[in-house]
């Protein structure tokens, strides 16, 4: 394999790529685009490579991580790669007994409910994840001027998985612990902030040009509770890479009412899900941050005329932002036609030329 460098990238230095410049609110030649969950399940070449290999194992094998991460860059010509991994990888790395069950998601063998349960979870060090550093270094060598995005799960979402024992619709055990034993809750989230922050730092120090903190479940909270029980810990996780020249993206699902608070956690870019227009998001953020988003992933199943109209609307809304990275308002759905994703990339590049 030689380097992968889509034609839209005009530099051999990923730190000066269109995506990194947009994240830093600097002038760009076009709106950069990538897709959450672009590396994986919608691509037939991914399914062929992963056949018979459990998800957690695939995430810890640098050759597989490298190939899967590169696949959507080759196919779609996106402006960034995102490391093929999962938000629970660092938890497994520090010894949490878990599995990623197909069709369900992460399942924790012994949920965290007591102080003794928390005491079994150590802090993360680079020695826990040498394969992640290796994967990032391999990818940086292949990607040339295309930036690599590293990522981690945010403390609230990781805490929810740990406390619930797996995915949850209502987060009842999570909220019961949060409200009923705030001391244990904060200690748990503090430990998870260290793990998430250290995982981000490992990726950035190995060569990732951008990092993203995913808070998939935090939209279950009202703003006051977010600011009390979550914001300090997300702030700590993002602060772990504050001294590195790496823009940070902070994304959550169902977080329209939390956007201003999420921005204050320290990221340069605030991800916006598909439930809030970029226009409304920019107003709530007071124009202080670059934004990322936010096409509804389900729209990709509609006729092309519908997809095109929605893409054009979002690009137009993003023109007034200090910086705009085009993305979906959540991850690529498994049955998405890859050809439609490629057409979206081409369209964004075409209509956003400066």
Is 343 designated active site?
no
Q: How confident is the model at residue 40 (pLDDT cuts 50, 70, 90)?
A: confident
For 90-95, what is the mean pLDDT? 98
- Active-site pick, 21, 37, 201, 284: 37
For 288-303, what is the mean pLDDT? 97
- Active-site pick, 21, 24, 161, 215: 161
CA dihedral 136, 139, 145, 147 (to 10 degrees): -50
Residue in the structure block whose two tokens are 């964004």: 348
Q: Between β-strands 81-82 and 98-101, what pairing exists: parallel, antiparallel or unpaired?
A: unpaired
Is 137 designated active site?
no
Q: How confident is the model at residue 9 (pLDDT cuts 50, 70, 90)?
A: low
DSSP string, 250-261: EEESS-GGGHHH
pLDDT digits (tens, 9 = 90+) for 134-160: 999 999 999 999 999 999 999 999 999
Confidence (pLDDT) at 10 = 61
Confidence (pLDDT) at 11 = 74
Reply yes or no on whether the pLDDT at 314 is more than 70. Answer: yes
Q: How confident is the model at residue 2 (pLDDT cuts 50, 70, 90)?
A: very low
Percentage, residues of the chain above pLDDT 70: 97
pTM listed for this prediction: 0.95
Confidence (pLDDT) at 41 = 86
Percentage, residues of the chain above pLDDT 90: 94
pLDDT digits (tens, 9 = 90+) for 179-202: 999 999 999 999 999 999 999 999
Is 25 designated active site?
no
DSSP 3-state of 340:
helix
Is 50 designated active site?
yes
Confidence (pLDDT) at 141 = 97
Q: Where are the beta strands (DSSP E) in 129-275?
A: 148-153, 210-215, 248-252, 269-271
Classify each residue of 224-244 as buried b or exposed e, where b means 16 or more C-beta atoms within 10 Å of its C-beta: ebbeebbbebbbbbbebbeee
For 110-130, what is the mean pLDDT? 97
Confidence (pLDDT) at 114 = 97
- Active-site pick, 86, 215, 273, 284: 86
Confidence (pLDDT) at 201 = 98
Q: Which helix (H) or strand (E) is 322 found in, with range?
A: none
- Active-site pick, 24, 50, 248, 284: 50
DSSP string, 37-73: T-SSTT-HHHHHHHTT--HHHHHT-HHHHHHHHHHHH
Q: Give the Cα separation of 78 and 288 in Å (integer).
A: 26
Is 37 designated active site?
yes
Question: What would you report as the CA-atom Rg of the chain, rounded to the nearest whole angstrom?
Answer: 19
Question: What domains can you pick out in the chain, each with its CATH number?
Answer: 14-351 (3.20.20.210)
Q: Which residues contact 337 (CB under 8 A, 6 or more apart)?
A: 42, 300, 301
Share of the chain residues as helix, strand and coil, in percent rounded to the nearest 5 = 50, 10, 40
At residue 14, φ and ψ (nearest 5 deg) are -60, -25
Q: How far is CA 77 from CA 13, 35, 63, 73, 349, in A?
A: 17, 11, 21, 5, 10
CA dihedral 254, 260, 262, 268 (to 10 degrees): 120
Reply yes or no on whether the pLDDT at 69 is more than 80. Answer: yes
For 113-127, what is the mean pLDDT? 97
For 274-280, what is the mean pLDDT? 97
pLDDT digits (tens, 9 = 90+) for 196-239: 999 999 999 999 999 999 999 999 999 999 999 999 999 999 99
Confidence (pLDDT) at 103 = 86
- Name all contacts of 280-283 with Cβ < 8 Å and 24+ positions apart: 280/256, 281/256, 282/317, 282/320, 282/321
Classify each residue of 193-223 as buried b or exposed e, where b means 16 or more C-beta atoms within 10 Å of its C-beta: bbbbbbbbbbbbebbbbbbbbbbbbbbbbee
């Amino acid at each position: 394999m030689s380097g992968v460098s889509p034609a839209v990238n005009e530099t051999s230095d990923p730190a000066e790529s269109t995506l990194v410049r947009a994240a830093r609110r600097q002038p760009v030649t076009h709106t950069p685009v990538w897709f959450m969950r672009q590396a994986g399940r919608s691509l037939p070449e991914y399914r062929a490579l992963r056949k018979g290999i459990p998800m957690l194992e695939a995430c810890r094998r640098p050759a597989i991580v490298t190939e899967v991460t590169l696949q959507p860059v080759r196919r779609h010509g996106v402006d960034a790669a995102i490391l093929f991994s999962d938000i629970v990888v660092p938890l497994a790395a520090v010894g949490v007994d878990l599995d990623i069950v197909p069709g369900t998601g992460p399942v924790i063998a012994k949920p965290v409910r007591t102080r003794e349960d928390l005491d079994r979870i150590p802090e993360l060090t680079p020695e826990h994840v040498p394969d992640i550093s290796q994967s990032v270094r391999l990818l940086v060598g292949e990607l040339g001027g295309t930036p690599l995005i590293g990522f981690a799960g945010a403390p609230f979402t990781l805490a929810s998985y740990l406390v619930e024992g797996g995915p949850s619709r209502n987060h009842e055990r999570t909220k019961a612990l949060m409200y009923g034993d705030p001391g244990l809750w904060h200690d748990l989230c503090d430990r998870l902030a260290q793990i998430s922050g250290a995982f981000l730092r490992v990726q950035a120090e190995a060569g990732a040009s951008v990092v993203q903190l995913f808070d998939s479940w935090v939209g279950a909270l009202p703003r006051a509770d977010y600011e009390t029980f979550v914001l300090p810990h997300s702030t700590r996780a993002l602060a772990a890479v504050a001294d590195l020249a790496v823009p940070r993206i902070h994304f959550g699902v169902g977080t329209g009412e939390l956007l201003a608070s999420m921005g204050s956690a320290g990221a340069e870019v605030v991800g916006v899900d598909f439930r809030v227009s970029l226009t409304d998001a920019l107003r709530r953020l007071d124009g202080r941050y670059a934004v990322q988003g936010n096409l509804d992933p389900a729209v990709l199943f509609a006729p092309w005329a519908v997809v095109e109209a929605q893409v054009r609307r979002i690009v137009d809304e993003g023109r007034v932002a200090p910086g705009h990275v085009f993305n979906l308002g959540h991850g690529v759905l498994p049955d998405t036609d890859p050809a439609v994703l490629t057409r979206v990339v081409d369209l964004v590049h075409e209509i956003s030329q400066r």
